[in-house]
């Protein structure tokens, strides 16, 4: 019986000609929109999550909560901060000596211009840190490696530059390692170049994170600020111990200085706002998807109402030869589902093609997983059934005699 | 057109193996419609008995109620009051599903305007009458093609109905009415749109079917054709005025 519904539906769809084609195209475009948006959204989410995960779930960041640092301009704020808004060596020692802590990297945000010959650039981030930093941050290098703290006292300081900084100063020079840069009249030797995207992390919200310069602490000669730090990154021995380590650090620091408002954050907390943004993005995609589904549904409903009206006589004839209301209902439902499924299939194909095009032109990797295709086709069938139900019920309720008397065949 | 006599597996539709369904009996059947707020009686207290194997012609002027009577006999319409028995079963209050099953198995319908679907081929139109029966595609094809052969339309299987002449279209409609081997044929003005030669062919077909045991009930306003039936019933003003059977 199902095969006959399919054959009858095929003939019905075929006989409606352009009307069917346009309806199927409408559904295809709706599904294309939904799949592509979800794929792009998923791609963005994956990408952002991957970048954020560079920090690792076993890392805690410690800083002092102050209005200045909340304003989001840490690079220029340090000098203006008093001791109540920065961290000192004592506090670093407290963190370092807390149970479960295996590595600690104090960091200090600096600012200024960097020169190479006649080229000058202002990195978005200049960070002074120690050699624990690359492991805590999971840094990856395009060439060279991180500087060693033992080099701190040499006349030329080894530094690491980001890929964008390298591009600004050295263009596409393949031999960036060893080049001598200048920062505040201090000679800096490039010991490594970071891979593009490698330095990105949750705190880098201003500008391209690849435009970065990592320097040893000895780059700073001003004794009034030399031993003051913006934050401490610290690695816990096990993810399971993150919560207790966080509590212990908080308690110890509080005992050390009750007046300071210390903040100890795990990755989950740091990612909080990013997750909120992603949630908003997901909600937006969901809303657009719902609108696209409703529009596709209205399209199919419209064409099915016309089909039922056009084929009233056929309904009468079918009932005359023994079709029940249920038979008629399913015939038109199958027809609606067939149209939406074909539309859905075209939408899937268009989305796959679009995802390749997007990958080529935009640095986003849309993700179309098999389950998304199954979901899209399932959604198509459901839309066909739900929005085809009204017309199908109308068809099934047609009175035989009056249906036979209509002009439509 | 080939002879439609003789029997084989594929020719069972013309044989007497339709089985007996018993008589069709209407008791005080009335059918009224509401038209522009007022009630119009299409049929009033109609009593009629049609025995199995009869050939009956229902005649009457336009609007007399003869088509309504045929529609009620074929379970295409329901009476407003009264009882309708097929054999001993009262079918006047059956559910729509059970009525559909009876239409599927007991009746074959022939209409004045053929009621063929232009989007389907001739063969598909014939097979449509078996669309709701559990028959294999192969058997269905065999039955349809055999009927087409017997109707002299073998070469028309794959064309659309609008390419047929009136006589050919009605023969296709008759083939559709016969494919499910119905014991009763209900024909509403079957020759109304045909030229005299085609009309004679169709009447000859119906006559042959009746001789094979099929009950034929035909609505016509043509007195000459009505004379070819075993019995004539005259309907006027929603009542049977001649040939009322005892009930």
Question: Can you give the residue range of the structural domain that contains A243?
Answer: 66-260
pLDDT value, residue B223:
85
What share of chain A has pLDDT > 70, as a percent? Answer: 88
- For the stretch A74-128, pLDDT in tens is 544 555 555 667 898 899 999 999 999 999 999 998 889 999 988 999 998 899 9
Q: Are residues A97 and A193 in the same domain?
A: yes
Supply the ipTM of this predicted assembly: 0.87
Q: Please provide the distance, in angstroms rounded to a whole number, between the alpha carbons at the two ends of chain B.
A: 40
pLDDT value, residue A55:
63
Q: Do B77 and A401 touch (CB under 8 A)?
A: yes
Q: Are residues A90 and A121 in the same domain?
A: yes
Rounded distance between C-alpha atoms, residue A222 and residue A152, angstroms: 15
DSSP-H helix ranges across A147-271: 163-170, 242-256, 267-270
B67-72 long-range contacts, CB within 8 A, separation 24+ = B67/B188, B67/B219, B68/B31, B68/B42, B68/B43, B68/B238, B69/B26, B69/B29, B69/B43, B69/B219, B69/B235, B70/B186, B70/B188, B70/B217, B70/B219, B71/A400, B71/A401, B72/B26, B72/B29, B72/B31, B72/B43
pLDDT at B108 exceeding the cut of 60: yes
The helix (run of H) or strand (run of E) holding residue B27 is strand B24-35
The last residue of one of the domains, among A260, A283, A303, is A260
- For the stretch A160-198, pLDDT in tens is 999 889 988 988 777 889 999 999 888 999 999 998 877
Tell me the chain A residues in contact with residue B173 when contact means C-beta distances shorter than 8 Å: none
pLDDT value, residue B6:
34
- Which of A134, A110, A117 has its CA nearest to residue A179? A117
**Residues counted in chain B:** 247
Q: Are residues A215 and A282 in the same domain?
A: no
Cα dihedral value B103, A8, B128, B110, nearest 10: 70
Q: Are residues A218 and A287 in the same domain?
A: no
Please report the sign of the dihedral spanned by the C-alpha atoms of residue B48, residue B49, residue B52, residue B58: negative
Burial letters A51-69, b for 16+ CB under 10 A, else e: bbebbeebbbbbbbebebb
Q: Are residues A90 and A186 in the same domain?
A: yes
**Sorting pLDDT into bands at 50, 70 and 90, what band is A206?**
low
Determine the residue among B95, B115, B173 to mutate to test chain A binding: the one whose Cβ has the most chain A Cβ atoms within 10 Å.
B115
pLDDT at A70 exceeding the cut of 50: no
3-state secondary structure of A66: coil
Question: Among partner residues B71, B100, B118, which is closest to A324 by beta-carbon distance?
Answer: B100
Rounded distance between C-alpha atoms, residue B1 and residue A360, angstroms: 69
The last residue of one of the domains, among A260, A293, A323, is A260
Q: Are residues A86 and A38 in the same domain?
A: no
CA-angle at B206, arms to B201 and B210, nearest 5°: 145
pLDDT value, residue B11:
38
Q: Are residues A46 and A90 in the same domain?
A: no
pTM above 0.80, yes or no: no
Place of tokens 């004379």: B227
pLDDT value, residue A82:
58
pLDDT at B85 exceeding the cut of 80: yes
Q: Report if residue A362 sits inside a domain.
A: yes
Per-residue CA distances from A389 to A28, A79, A298, A326, A335 (Å): 20, 70, 12, 12, 11
Give the gap in angstroms from C-alpha A21 to the nearest C-alpha of chain B.
17
Beta strands in A36-134 (DSSP E): 59-64, 87-88, 101-110, 114-116, 119-121, 125-128
Give the gap in angstroms from C-alpha B149 to the nearest C-alpha of chain A.
22
pLDDT value, residue A17:
76
Q: Report if residue A268 sits inside a domain.
A: no
Place of tokens 């059956």: B94
* DSSP per-residue string spanning A319-351: HHTT--HHHHHHHHHHHHHHHHHHHHHHHHHHH
> Which of the residue ranges A25-34, A265-274, A308-317 would you say has the lowest mean pLDDT?
A265-274
Phi, psi of A282 (to 5 degrees): -60, -40
Q: Are residues A200 and A251 in the same domain?
A: yes
Q: Are residues A288 and A363 in the same domain?
A: yes
Query: Stretch A229-234: mean pLDDT, rounded?
Result: 91
Burial letters A232-245, b for 16+ CB under 10 A, else e: bbbbbeeeeebeeb
Tell me the chain B residues in contact with residue A317 when contact means C-beta distances shorter than 8 Å: 115, 117, 128
Q: What's the DSSP call for residue A207? A: S
Residue spans per domain, chain B: 23-242
Q: Are residues A281 and A356 in the same domain?
A: yes
pLDDT at A71 exceeding the cut of 50: no
**Residues counted in chain A:** 409
pLDDT at B4 exceeding the cut of 50: no
pLDDT value, residue A150:
58
Query: Stretch B77-102: mean pLDDT, rounded?
Result: 90
Tell me the chain A residues in contact with residue B180 when contact means C-beta distances shorter than 8 Å: 321-322
Per-residue CA distances from B243 to B230, B236, B239 (Å): 11, 12, 11
Tell me the chain A residues in contact with residue B131 when contact means C-beta distances shorter than 8 Å: 4, 8, 318, 321, 323
**Sorting pLDDT into bands at 50, 70 and 90, what band is B181?**
confident
Q: For chain A, what is the total number of helices (H) and then of strands (E)?
A: 14, 14
pLDDT at A58 exceeding the cut of 90: no
pLDDT at A407 exceeding the cut of 80: no
- For the stretch B9-24, pLDDT in tens is 333 333 333 345 678 9
Query: Stretch A266-293: mean pLDDT, rounded?
Result: 81
pLDDT value, residue A409:
54
Rounded distance between C-alpha atoms, residue B82 and residue B29, angstroms: 4
CATH number of B23-242: 3.40.50.300
pLDDT value, residue A1:
66
What share of chain B has pLDDT > 70, as a percent? Answer: 89
- For the stretch B189-209, pLDDT in tens is 888 888 888 888 888 889 998
Tell me the chain A residues in contact with residue B111 when contact means C-beta distances shorter than 8 Å: 404
Quick one: three-class SS letters along B138-166?
HHHHHHHHHHHHHCCCHHHCCCCHHHCCH
Q: Report if residue A38 sits inside a domain.
A: yes
pLDDT at B76 exceeding the cut of 90: yes
* DSSP per-residue string spanning B176-225: HHHTT--SEEEEESTTTTS-HHHHHHHHHHHHHHHHTT-EEEEE-S-HHH
Q: Do A321 and B76 touch (CB under 8 A)?
A: no
Q: Report if residue A57 sits inside a domain.
A: no
Query: Stretch B124-143: mean pLDDT, rounded?
Result: 87
What share of chain A has pLDDT > 90, as a percent? Answer: 38
Average pLDDT across chain B, whole number: 84
- For the stretch A302-352, pLDDT in tens is 999 998 998 899 999 999 999 999 999 999 999 999 999 999 999 999 999
Q: Do A321 and B180 touch (CB under 8 A)?
A: yes
Q: Report if residue A192 sits inside a domain.
A: yes
Rounded distance between C-alpha atoms, residue A112 and residue A124, angstroms: 9
pLDDT at B3 exceeding the cut of 50: no
Using beta carbons and an 8 Å cutoff, which residues of A are at the interface with B? 1, 4, 8, 11-12, 14-15, 313-314, 316-327, 400-401, 404, 409
Query: Stretch A253-279: mean pLDDT, rounded?
Result: 81
């Amino acid at each position: 019986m199902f095969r006959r519904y399919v054959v009858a539906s095929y003939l019905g769809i075929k006989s409606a000609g352009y009307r069917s084609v346009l309806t199927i195209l409408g559904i295809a475009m709706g599904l294309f929109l939904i799949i592509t948006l979800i794929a792009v959204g998923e791609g963005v989410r994956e990408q952002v999550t991957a970048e954020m995960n560079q920090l690792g779930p076993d890392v805690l960041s410690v800083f002092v909560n102050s209005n200045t640092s909340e304003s989001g301009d840490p690079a220029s704020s340090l000098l203006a901060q008093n001791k109540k808004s920065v961290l000192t060596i004592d506090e670093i020692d407290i963190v370092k000596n807390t149970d479960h802590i295996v590595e600690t990297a104090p960091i200090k945000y600096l600012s200024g211009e960097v020169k190479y010959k006649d080229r000058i650039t202002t990195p978005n981030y200049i960070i002074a840190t120690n050699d624990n930093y690359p492991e805590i941050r999971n840094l990856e290098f395009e060439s060279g490696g991180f500087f060693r703290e033992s080099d701190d006292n040499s006349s030329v300081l080894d530094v690491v530059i980001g890929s964008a900084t390298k591009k600004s100063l050295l263009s596409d020079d393949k031999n960036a390692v060893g080049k001598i840069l200048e920062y505040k009249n201090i000679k800096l030797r490039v010991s490594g170049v970071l891979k593009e995207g490698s330095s990105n992390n949750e705190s880098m919200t201003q500008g391209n994170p690849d435009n970065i310069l990592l320097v040893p602490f000895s780059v700073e000669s001003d004794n009034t600020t030399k031993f003051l730090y913006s934050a401490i990154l610290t690695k816990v021995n096990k993810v399971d111990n993150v919560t207790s380590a966080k509590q212990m650090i908080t308690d110890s620091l509080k005992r050390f200085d009750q007046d300071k408002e210390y903040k100890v954050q795990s990755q989950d907390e740091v990612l909080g706002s990013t997750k909120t943004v992603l949630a908003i993005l997901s909600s937006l995609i969901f809303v657009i998807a719902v609108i696209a589904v409703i529009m596709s549904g209205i399209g199919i409903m419209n064409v099915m109402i016309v089909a039922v009206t056009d084929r009233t006589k056929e309904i009468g004839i079918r009932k005359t030869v023994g079709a029940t209301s249920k038979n008629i209902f399913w015939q038109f439902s199958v027809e609606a589902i067939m149209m939406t499924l074909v539309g859905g299939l075209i939408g899937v194909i268009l989305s796959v093609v679009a995802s390749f095009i997007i990958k080529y032109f935009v640095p986003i990797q849309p993700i179309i997983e098999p389950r998304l295709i199954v979901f899209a086709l399932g959604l198509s069938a459901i839309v066909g059934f739900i929005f085809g139900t009204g017309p199908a019920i109308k068809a099934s309720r047609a009175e035989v005699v009056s249906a036979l008397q209509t002009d439509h065949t | 057109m080939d002879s439609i006599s003789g029997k084989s597996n594929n020719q069972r539709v013309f044989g007497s193996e339709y089985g007996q369904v018993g008589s069709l009996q209407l008791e005080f059947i009335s059918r009224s419609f509401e038209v522009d707020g007022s009630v119009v009686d299409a049929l009033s207290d109609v009593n009629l008995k049609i025995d199995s194997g009869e050939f009956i012609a229902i005649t009457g002027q336009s609007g007399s109620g003869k088509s309504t009577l045929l529609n009620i006999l074929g379970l295409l319409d329901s009476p407003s009051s009264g009882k309708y028995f097929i054999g001993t079963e009262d079918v006047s209050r059956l559910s729509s599903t059970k009525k559909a099953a009876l239409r599927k198995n007991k009746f074959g319908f022939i209409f004045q305007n053929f009621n063929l679907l232009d989007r389907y081929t001739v063969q598909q139109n014939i097979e449509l009458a078996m669309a709701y029966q559990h028959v294999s595609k192969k058997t269905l094809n065999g039955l349809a093609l055999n009927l087409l052969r017997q109707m002299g339309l073998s070469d028309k299987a794959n064309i659309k109905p609008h390419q047929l002449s009136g006589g050919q279209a009605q023969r296709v409609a008759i083939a559709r009415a016969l494919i499910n081997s119905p014991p009763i044929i209900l024909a509403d003005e079957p020759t109304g749109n045909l030229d005299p030669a085609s009309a004679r062919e169709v009447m000859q077909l119906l006559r042959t079917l009746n001789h094979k045991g099929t009950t034929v009930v035909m609505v016509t306003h043509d007195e000459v054709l009505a004379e070819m039936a075993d019995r004539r019933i005259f309907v006027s003003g929603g009542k049977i005025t001649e040939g009322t059977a005892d009930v």
